[in-house]
């Protein structure tokens, strides 16, 4: 297994570039279709969230895989390669496994410890299951999801990083004052909108208005919050009365236009307005920050504050858990890489023994059944004894840095057909990752195989 990760995230790129890549990637189906058409890639999963766009691929080679994925991202996003490659990160084989396990555990999130990433990874894999993912990425993603669940159930990582909503609302309070009794507008009726509304209600706000493209969805969420639901055609009126606006629609274009905010501000008699944009791509026109009395808080402005949460005992506990899980996963995969060779060797030995016993039967036709059985058992016992030590040792030696080379030597020494282990892999043994955890490579391929 040669797993490659090529991605861009809030840690590697400014929000504006990340937004451009996210918009360009669009639906995973189209990306997966293009990747399957690329010669070196046999399987792929596209993870696209508000904080990252990552392509996980099983590829024939490092450089060919990086070129295929990066060229596709350039084509879809319109970002020139020279600019994009400054912000792309590349992980290969063992390092790719480590990165995915860290992502699943919430260690790589903007808000450390957030659990939404587990659902996002599950949806990404489900989207690819019928079109882009195969047995290699299936095993990798299923293990990553299990590791993420362990991290949240066995440590206190959930509380390591404060909620993105909470941090953003703290900034809003600094701009307009305490939330108690304030009028708020929630744009978007999805899961983030529901979380925002619940947080605001606990903070003691006054009126809550929920605006959504589908008015029915806005009303359903508003009813849970004892608020009012409106369609986006009621956005401007709601802006006039709100003190705080939180937007997180997941739309692919700007939802809150500058001219709409400008007209609303003109009717507010100078009251300050805090706009919290938690969406990527962004919901709110960034130029509204130039309007008098408007305070725009977006993901870009929250990054530095949120980075301070990436420490603490719970975070270290998850890092240790992830390190153990990565070592275990790679060990199992190394064993799985050797197993087909061992199975093929024993199969070859059985063929040789059967052929020799058949010849013996023609040479000694008068041998009685009991004697024949004894001879057969003795021959098979001798062959099994001779094979026992090399097959056990080759499994043990896979723990060494060059462990898989011993399996290669076994194939050469016994003259095994290279197709035999491959056939076993396809029918019996799950594919495996390489034996070593590859270090992070730059896009230019430094340190790559």
Q: What is the pTM of this model?
A: 0.65
Residue 337 · residue 407 · CB < 8 Å: yes
pLDDT digits (tens, 9 = 90+) for 244-261: 999 998 787 899 999 999
Strand, helix or coil at 315?
helix
CA distance 267 to 395: 75
Pairing of strands 3-9, 41-48: unpaired
The more confident residue out of 34 and 99 is 99
Pairwise CA distance, residues 52 & 124, whole Å? 12
Per residue in 148-165, pLDDT tens?
A: 999 999 988 876 555 678
The pLDDT value recorded for residue 308 is 59
What is the arithmetic mean of pLDDT over 381-397?
79
- Catalytic residues, by residue number, are 50
pLDDT exceeds 70 at position 29: no
Domains along the sequence of the chain with CATH = 3-159 (3.30.460.30), 164-307 (3.40.50.720), 337-427 (no CATH)
- Cβ atoms within 10 Å, residue 213: 15
Tens digits of residue pLDDT in 306-359 = 665 555 788 889 999 999 999 888 877 776 667 677 777 788 888 888 888 888
DSSP 123-191: HHHHHHHTTT--HHHHHHHHHHHHHHHHHHHHSSGGGTS--HHHHHHHHHHHHH---TT--EEEE--SH
């Amino acid at each position: 297994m040669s797993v490659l990760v090529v991605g861009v995230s809030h840690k590697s790129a400014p929000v504006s570039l990340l937004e451009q890549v996210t918009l360009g990637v669009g639906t995973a189906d189209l990306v997966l279709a293009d990747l399957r058409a690329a010669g070196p890639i046999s399987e792929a999963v596209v993870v696209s969230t508000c904080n990252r766009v990552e392509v996980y691929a099983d590829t024939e080679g490092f450089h060919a895989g990086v070129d295929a994925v990066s060229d596709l991202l350039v084509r879809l996003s319109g970002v020139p390669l020279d600019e994009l490659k400054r912000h792309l990160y590349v992980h290969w084989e063992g390092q790719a496994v480590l990165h995915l396990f860290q992502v699943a555990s919430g260690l790589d999130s903007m808000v450390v410890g957030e659990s939404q990433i587990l659902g996002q990874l599950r949806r990404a894999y489900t989207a690819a299951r019928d079109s882009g993912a195969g047995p290699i990425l299936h095993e990798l993603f299923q293990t990553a999801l299990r590791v993420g669940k362990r991290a949240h159930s066995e440590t206190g990582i959930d509380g390591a990083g404060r909620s993105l909503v909470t941090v953003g609302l703290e900034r809003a309070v600094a701009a307009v004052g305490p939330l108690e009794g304030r009028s708020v507008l929630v744009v978007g009726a999805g899961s983030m909108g529901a979380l925002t509304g619940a947080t605001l209600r606990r903070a003691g706000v006054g009126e809550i208005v929920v605006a959504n493209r589908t008015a029915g969805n806005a009303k359903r969420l508003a009813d849970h919050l004892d608020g009012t639901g409106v369609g986006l055609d009621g956005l401007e009126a709601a802006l006039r009365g709100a003190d705080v606006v939180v937007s997180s629609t997941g739309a692919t274009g700007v939802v809150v236009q500058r001219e709409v905010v400008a007209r609303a501000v003109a009717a507010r008699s100078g009251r300050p307005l805090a706009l919290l944009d938690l969406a990527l791509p962004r919901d709110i026109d960034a130029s509204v920050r130039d309007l008098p009395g408007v305070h725009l808080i977006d993901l870009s402005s929250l990054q530095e504050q949120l980075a301070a949460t990436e420490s603490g005992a719970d975070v270290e506990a998850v890092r240790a858990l992830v390190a153990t899980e990565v070592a275990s996963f790679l060990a199992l995969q190394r064993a799985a890489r050797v197993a087909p060779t061992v199975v093929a060797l024993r199969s070859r030995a059985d063929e040789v023994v059967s052929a020799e016993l058949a010849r013996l039967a023609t040479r000694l036709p008068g041998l009685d059944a009991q004697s024949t059985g004894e001879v057969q058992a003795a021959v098979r016992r001798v062959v099994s004894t001779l094979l026992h030590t090399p097959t056990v040792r080759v499994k043990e030696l896979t723990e060494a840095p060059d462990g898989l080379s011993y399996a290669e030597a076994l194939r050469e020494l016994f003259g095994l057909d290279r197709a035999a282990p491959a056939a076993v892999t396809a029918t019996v043994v799950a594919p495996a990752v390489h034996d070593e955890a590859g270090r992070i490579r730059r896009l230019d391929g430094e340190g790559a195989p």
